Chains A and B, each alone.
Chain A
Amino acid sequence: MLWQALVAPFAEFGFLRRALVACLALSLAAPPLGVFLMLRRMSLTGDALAHAMLPGVALGFVLAGLSPPALAAGGLAAGLLVALGAGALSRATGGREDAALAALTLSALAAGVALISWRGSPVELTQLLFGSVLGVEDAALLLAGGAASAALVFLALAWRPLALECFDPGFGRSVGLRGGVWHLAFLALVVLTLVASFQAVGTLMAVGLMMLPAVAARHWARGLAGMVLAAVGLAMLASLVGLLGSFHADVPTGPAITLAAAALWALSLVLGPVDGLRAGWRPPRHLEG
């Protein structure tokens, strides 16, 4: 029974195994980036960038149909354009970066949906927005693996620079840290990871695997390394549960995985030892002074 529900689908269907491998690779790449986004108080930036890549994906779709390289190239270009554009626009006009990002994102989302609806069927629109397990072809699998490797190598190098840039940017600059360069490289990697995610989980849900485990991880660890490890573990669990749910209940993979991640977040929120709600309901006795 348990075998039938949990293992048989993966044993039986190759496309599910491929989707699982892709999602596990993305679970290594996305959540650590999400933890840094959260700590930089940029939790909504991932969401904005995920929406921003839609017109690029849509343009790739209009020009080349559902071809993974064209979709990915379009998404990457649009995402990078908005990530860099929001910063440049706010600097040039004296506005705030979050305001520029909100404006660009909304415009991008509307343009993307309009483009896809113009040339595509509702099924294709759903697939691009919410993902499909059948969408994980060789190219998508390679991109997910590549993004995961790039993210891990980048984080190994950028861990301390990003930590210093978050903790004390002024001091960082005074000792020669190029905070802006690290920040842009970080945003570029966020876009790359989102692009790698969208074939499996869709453009609208790509950010789910990035932010939800990261936000949940805050309730399991106090240190940076602990948070990153917890986020990766939670994302892997959400991928497994989500794919099974998608298979059994016949819902798109994106919402299924994101719902699984959301359930884990809710559990963490209630049960997590760090700032969890349960600790607030029944506060343990205070410690010796």
Chain B
Amino acid sequence: MPVLAVHNLTVTHGRRPAVHHASFRLAPGGKMAVVGPNGAGKSPLLRAIAGLHPPAEGRIEGAGRVALLPQAAALDRGFPLSCRDAVLFGLWAEAGAFRSLAAPERAEEALAAVGLSGFARRPVGSLSAGQFQRVLFARLLLQDAPVILLDEPFNALDARTVEDLLGVLRRWHGEGRSILAVLHDLDLVRREFPETLLLAREVIACGPTAQVLSAENRLRARMMAEAWAEHAAPCARAA
């Protein structure tokens, strides 16, 4: 019984498909990378699974409680917020908007777990990119979800921060959580992720990482992602 099953999923921007008839499964405790060229629909896929973008077609089963790490660039880092308050948002789903404030020590524990002891009162606007990403990971820790979706979690981070955050990922994996992460660093994917979904709007391949990331598949993904028909006809597979 997969923890997440995506059936024939199509997500559109306007009428253009960002994800086109995609199907795959994530096993409980699975650790799967989502790779593909820019414009392959990786972020829309994650956003659809997180319930942020209603599918145009198809269904997503068993997603249950998921925790999403959005791309850091999508956040307003100029907003006057302390690290503690930013992390406490992680308790929102469990405790609601206000009761989550009653547990400030949990924010401090989560910050300590990502190597940010003593940062509770620091404004998020004063953090480096790496520290900010650690704060978002601390928020994920408080969410305590069985399925974790990460959208480019290691972009523009130094090697030390990536290594520390990979440690957090391994801990989650050890605890039996399922992880689905959009990544660009294929060496890292080969090293850390047993399974991979290669996406180029459609699923090019899904399965053991070494097989999926073959040169042939990657070339096919690039061609598919770059294809753009000015006057595309309505999809024959559409319901």
Contact = CB atoms under 8 A, between A and B. Distances in A.
Given A167-B76, A224-B80, A173 B92 contact: no
A93 interface: no
A240 interface: no
Interface of B: 47, 50-52, 66-68, 70, 74-76, 79-82, 85-86, 89, 92-93, 97-98, 101, 123, 139, 143
A195 to B, nearest CB: 28
A224 B52 contact: no
Nearest to B126: A222
A170 B68 contact: yes
Contact of A163 (B47, B74, B85): B85
A170 B70 contact: yes
Interface in A159-192: 160-161, 163-164, 166-168, 170-177
A261 to B, nearest CB: 21
Contacts of A224: 80-81
6 contacts: A160-B97, A160-B101, A167-B75, A167-B81, A171-B70, A222-B80
A173 B92 CA distance: 11
B66 A174 contact: yes
B47 A175 contact: no
B79 A167 contact: yes
B75 A168 contact: yes
A267 to B, nearest CB: 21
Contacts of A161: 97
A161 B123 CA distance: 18
A227 B47 CA distance: 33
Nearest to B71: A170
Nearest to A158: B97
A175 B80 contact: no
B51 A166 contact: no
B76 A171 contact: no
Given A160-B98, A173-B51, A166 B79 contact: yes
Given A170-B52, A227-B80, A164 B70 contact: no
Nearest to A94: B14
A174 B136 CA distance: 14
Nearest to A159: B97
A161 B67 CA distance: 18
Contacts of B52: 170, 173-174
Given A160-B98, A167-B86, A174-B50, A39 B79 contact: yes
A163 B70 contact: no
A168 B97 contact: no
A63 B235 CA distance: 56
A289 interface: no
Interface of A: 39, 160-161, 163-164, 166-168, 170-177, 222-224, 227
A222 B89 contact: no
A171 B98 contact: no
A101 B93 CA distance: 34
Given A39-B79, A170-B74, 4 more contacts: A167-B81, A168-B76, A172-B89, A174-B50
A28 to B, nearest CB: 21
Given A163-B81, A170-B52, A171-B70, A177 B76 contact: no
A174 B68 contact: yes
A163 B98 CA distance: 12
Contacts of B98: 160
A39 to B, nearest CB: 6
Nearest to B81: A167
Contact of B93 (A163, A175, A223): A175
Given A39-B80, A177-B92, A223 B123 contact: yes
Given A39-B79, A39-B80, A174-B50, A164 B123 contact: no
Contacts of B80: 39, 222-224, 227
B8 to A, nearest CB: 23
A175 B79 CA distance: 20
A103 to B, nearest CB: 23
Nearest to A177: B92
Contacts of B79: 39, 163, 166-167
B145 to A, nearest CB: 10
B123 A168 contact: no
B93 A176 contact: yes
A223 B70 contact: no
